[in-house]
Structure 1
Amino acid sequence: MFLRPLVRAVTYTRWLHLMIGAVVPIAAGLIYPGLSSPTVADWLVAGLLPVPPVAALALLPSARRAEGLQARLMLFPGKHARVRGAGEAGTGISATPSASWADRGRTALWAVFRMEAGLAVWIVSVWLLQCALVLSGTSVEEPVAGALPRPGVPGGGFLAPLPLFLLLALVVGAGRLETRVALRLLGPSVKERMTALEERTERLLERNRIARELHDSLGHALTLAVVQAGAARAAGDPEFTDRALAAIEESGRAALEDLERVLLLLREKGGPRGAAPGLEEAARLLESARSSGARVSAEVTGPVEELPGPVSREAYRMLQEALTNALRHAGPVPVTVRVAAEPSRFLLRVANPVPAGRPPAAAGSGSGLRGVRERAALLGGEAWAGVRDGEWRVEVTLPLR
């Protein structure tokens, strides 16, 4: 268990990530004050002089993206290290440009931490390697980390592996510390988390909308097919059977078109996508319901063709579900449809008598009627379904302002 980190590649990529951070202060120290025989003061100067320019450079918006990609690649190796976005694939590291001064400040803190921690780990790593060489009896010239004490243990050859063990412990511990700091300073900001949450919510809403589309379209087509087939078999009339088959064919073709459109949405292809049907195609719904044996009377008032696109499309689906519900639960009964486009609101009412001896379903108990209420709520309206005056009614009111 204790040796497991030593056989993981991520342990050494983290250590390398820190070593890269030490390049800037070492280069600055070679220029001033010089590192031929460095003292503690020399290393302090070499570590502090680059802080202002490094922090200023980290304030650039693109610096956060660069640091995030490096952290993903070297602190969290794997396929997710190359995925763009805020904290994707479980790394918790943002790889987007800074969107606020808070993000810039955290990036600057990270850049300074990485530089100073890298310099400290570099000095200690070199010193431990030199200690191992000295303890093994190898002659070592004046070390680069000359400010640290030189080991001198007589007959300490058997202690030579000890600095190497300490170096491995340093590699593991420093890498874990750097990862924790990266998660805190390079993690997604509140704005990025909210954006990710909004995108996830949009995806869920889209999935629910697609599920409703499939339920309404395919449910309507299958209900008509079942009712038409049953009526044709009971009638035993070749002419009626021909009409029933034609209605089944038409509703099936419309359902296939809706299915293809929904599948294109799921595949997210860039090609042209068929537009969803609107209320201007309501005559097709009414005719298909009539062909199943239901006596449908419709009253349309107001400029329905001028309704906003979202209202027209959702009203079409709600009318489709109401007719499907009537045919499925009541059979070929008289159905009254009223559609009204008023200046400030849109009204839809579908009513049919409750068959004798058949108790009506509980209001809103089905997923279809629940979908009607959801569609109405999304448009700021309301929907009601239940028994009133001996009729089963579905009533929808949508605001137009």
Structure 2
Amino acid sequence: MDERHHSAFTGARATVDPWVGGRVVADDGFIDATHVYLVTGSRIAMTWRTRDFPKGANDSQVDISFSPIAGGTKVEVTHSKIPAGLGKACEKLWKSLYLSPMAKYFAEPDAMRAAYKAAKKAGHLPLSGIKASRPGPRRPFVPTPQLPVEEPGEDEEDDEERPKKTRKRVETKPIDLRELAQAQAEARKQAARKKAEAKKKADAARKKAEAIQRKLEAKKKAEALKLKKAEARRVAAEKKRIAAERKKAAAEKKAALARKKAEAKAKADAIKRKKAEAKRKADAKKKAAAKKKLAAKKKLAAKKKLAAKKKAAAKKRPTPKRRPVTKKRSATKKRRSSKKAAPKKRRKVTRKRAAPKKRGSAKKKAASKKRATPKKRAAPKKRGTAKKRRKAPAKKTKRRTSRR
């Protein structure tokens, strides 16, 4: 009942509707049949006609049965009610178009593959658009005038001509189409009733399931709403906490910035003070250096002046006569120099310490302080101005040298 396999092993395009009342068109439209009875895997009954059938002739009846045997499947074809003169042609058609190719096609996988490829190459396999263009269902045509059907005598003659077979033919009962149609209609009604009941039950079950589903969804929504509210509260608290932390961080940052500014200001002030101190020290050093330089100049000038005075005084007084220096020493000097003076002995002087004075109490001391009159300090002597001090000559001081 597969269109592709049918087209592959027959070598011609075929369309098959695999249901009761479905149409079968095979051998590129030469065969036209309608399914009457179908049992999956065991029996096919159909009305059957070809283009060779005369106009107005009734459809013939075909009954195909399948039975499993050792090593394969037994196929029996019973073709009845064939118009007169077409029995041999139908038999030849069945053998050449179906039975021999089917035996070869299903027995050898390579043959099946080759036939399938050949049919595909020739374009015999049905494509996606074939179902739309397939012919509609056709009812068997039953005309009022009945044409002559093959008589049993002719069939017997044909049987005599054929070689006798040892197989026993299975007799099949003729099919009454009206009864079959009524049975099929009743079966369809029962199926429709069962379908309606099943649909009703399914609808009730579906409604019940939908109600349960709605309840579950409502419960889920309520739980989701609760979770959403809790999440919103948590998010709000988190935002509040983050805002407080940010505010605190901003305040700390501001305080740190203020501290940094204060520290920077203090550093700048310290640097300014250091610079001022360094400037003051430099100025003091400059002043001291200038003062020292001036004093040195004055001293040098005074020395030069003194030297000039000495030189002038030396020029005025007469030069004394020098005594002649003799190398020989006198005897007295030699004796004095030979005798060494004995070192003087030092006397040890012991001094007695004075006895410590008795000190009075703190009250007596305070009273004595009150009674004692404070001594007046002497008035400081008036000094001359800086110019007079600079001009005053320095006093000569004689150094005393002590020889032992």
Q: Tell me which interval the TM-score lies in, with the shorter structure as reference length.
A: under 0.3
TM-score normalised to structure 2 length: 0.19
Which one has the largest radius of gyration? 2
More helix by share: 1
